[in-house]
A and B are shown apart, each in its own frame.
Chain A
Amino acid sequence: DAGVTQSPTHLIKTRGQQVTLRCSPISGHKSVSWYQQVLGQGPQFIFQYYEKEERGRGNFPDRFSARQFPNYSSELNVNALLLGDSALYLCASSWKGEDYGYTFGSGTRLTVV
């Protein structure tokens, strides 16, 4: 079985632009979580989706949005990019979320210039 796949792996955007990051969970996993990891820090929780509904949201501005599709894949959208949005964006899938085991993707490295 394929693991959690994220695309693209690297991305360079200009301030003010919009970006869409994609995540495909492990087959059978219905929950997807998104995390932002700024260089030198631990990941910070952005969103969790389960069965296509938002179940949790971290302390991020409304410029960040996400959705989950019927096949349980997910997209993270960030509008009006700021330099501070430069980070590694990690997706994690689990069967149900919460205290169930997570499998992480390799991440998308976003650089905003």
Chain B
Amino acid sequence: KNEVEQSPQNLTAQEGEFITINCSYSVGISALHWLQQHPGGGIVSLFMLSSGKKKHGRLIATINIQEKHSSLHITASHPRDSAVYICAVPPYSGGGADGLTFGKGTHLIIQP
């Protein structure tokens, strides 16, 4: 079963800084998800990617399938980016109907 490691677990940065959050997984996958969770619960899906790079506004996600590694970058960070960022992958290489396996999340705080 896939094991997901995220780093760092906690990150505090100043407004405007470039942020990088890393995710590694143990079993080859077809797609990886980056999610954002604000205090109070609701999860927002940011990206689903299977190769290369995706960009949405100030968010950039990259994945290296061979190295089983993905990164989420935030450019020109802002206090409203403060949230928990979670990486999630299928539990097995074949995907299947077993839901997603989630990393423990990176708690990001952007200070003004």
Contact = CB atoms under 8 A, between A and B. Distances in A.
Contacts of B100: 33, 35, 43, 45, 102
A109 B105 CA distance: 19
Contacts of A42: 86, 88, 102-105
Given A42-B102, A42-B104, A102 B45 contact: yes
B31 interface: yes
What is the interface residue range for chain B against chain A?
20 to 34
B96 A56 contact: yes
A56 B98 contact: yes
B66 to A, nearest CB: 18
Contact of A45 (B30, B45, B50, B98): B98
B2 to A, nearest CB: 12
Contact of A104 (B31, B43, B97): B43
Interface in A30-89: 33, 35, 37, 41-48, 50, 55-56, 58, 88
A33 B99 contact: yes
Contacts of B43: 43, 90, 92, 104, 107
B103 to A, nearest CB: 6
Nearest to B48: A101
B7 to A, nearest CB: 14
Interface of B: 30-31, 33, 35, 41-45, 48, 50, 86, 88, 90-91, 95-105
Interface of A: 33, 35, 37, 41-48, 50, 55-56, 58, 88, 90, 92, 97-99, 101-107, 109
